[in-house]
Amino acid sequence: MHLVPADRADRRTIDGHRVCDAIAAIGEPDHVRTWADRFSLLADANRLALLLALYRTGPLAVSDLAIATGMNDPAVSQALRLLRAAGVVEGEKEGRVVRYRVVDEDVRGLLRQCGVNAAG
Amino acid sequence: MHLVPADRADRRTIDGHRVCDAIAAIGEPDHVRTWADRFSLLADANRLALLLALYRTGPLAVSDLAIATGMNDPAVSQALRLLRAAGVVEGEKEGRVVRYRVVDEDVRGLLRQCGVNAAG
DNA sequence: TGCATACCTGCGCAGGTGTGCAGCTATGCA
DNA sequence: TGCATAGCTGCACACCTGCGCAGGTATGCA
């Protein structure tokens, strides 16, 4: 079990093998970072409100999202741009109205968990 | 359906009633903020690595967490202080060693979702 | 063709956040 | 009692992020 990188193999450990277990438990750094980034997208109350509205209500227009959340239009637009760049939401243009919806299944799973204790 | 606050009741809507649905879907602002704060705790790769190690491996000492993640001791300590203040982890002192574990059930649920696609 | 609407973008500022360094406290052992 | 270890804390720095403002683009309608 030589999972400890060489640059810190000389450090003293408390529980020896449990360190290796922990390294295995953490897994690929890229995987961890991907999930951290995902959580980061939900870590803002405004963005989370937008996502909850989209997830539970279905496709919504930008203006309506702004009214529902109390945000300004540009703020909503910028938040949606971030979420769109991350592949979390997608917008469908219908005339001059763009309706967004949540397309990332991992994020949908997380949003579902927000309601297990109290969702009304 | 007068869920739209008075200060923005005069704004033009696209889908009228869907705005009310969205407001109902968002729910209590405090609830949203609570979950956003929760996600914020998992939004850092280092903290997430610590939590994954604790969640999957079980109680671990601070030094071992530092070795497993490659972080410095103070960095681990500060991260754990944040998580402890939020009620996510708890530490049990055994001599001069403190072993931490994840105690928040909501966070445990989120951590479990990190492994549904690829956890090894 | 002209105008209003729906949405997007760039910029700058205020605020929060992670990190490293140095030093402190507490426990265990000789 | 003296020393090493395990962990915690305060400070200062750089960094990132969300937001409002102003302006731009595209669609629909008269």
Read off the pLDDT of each residue in A7-36 and give the average, rounded to a whole number: 88
Q: Which of B103, B120, B99, B50 is nearest to B78 (CA)?
A: B50
Read off the pLDDT of each residue in A42-56 and give the average, rounded to a whole number: 95
CB nearest B53 (choices: A22, A68, A109): A22
Taking CA–CA distances from B7, the nearest residue in chain A reads A70
Neighbours of A83 (CB within 10 A): 24
Q: Classify residue B2 by burial, with Cβ atoms within 10 Å: 0-12, 13-18, 19+.
A: exposed
**Confidence band for B5, pLDDT divided at 50, 70 and 90:** confident
pLDDT tens track for A81-99: 999 999 999 999 989 999 9
* Cα-Cα end-to-end distance for chain B: 49
**Under an 8 A CB cutoff, do A56 and B25 touch?**
yes
Helix axes A45-57, B29-42, angle to 10 degrees: 110
Q: Classify residue B42 by burial, with Cβ atoms within 10 Å: 0-12, 13-18, 19+.
A: buried
Q: What is the pLDDT of residue A2?
A: 64
B92, A43 in Cβ contact below 8 A?
no
A50 or A5, which is more confident? Answer: A50
Token pair of A94, please?
A: 């219908």
Q: Which DSSP state fits A95?
A: T
Read off the pLDDT of each residue in A37-49 and give the average, rounded to a whole number: 95
Q: Which of residues 6-45 of B touch strand C (CB under 7 A)?
A: 12, 14, 40, 43-44
Domains parsed from chain A with CATH numbers = 11-36 (no CATH), 42-113 (1.10.10.10)
Q: Whole-model pTM?
A: 0.90
Q: How far apart are CA B2 and CA B112, in angstroms?
A: 39
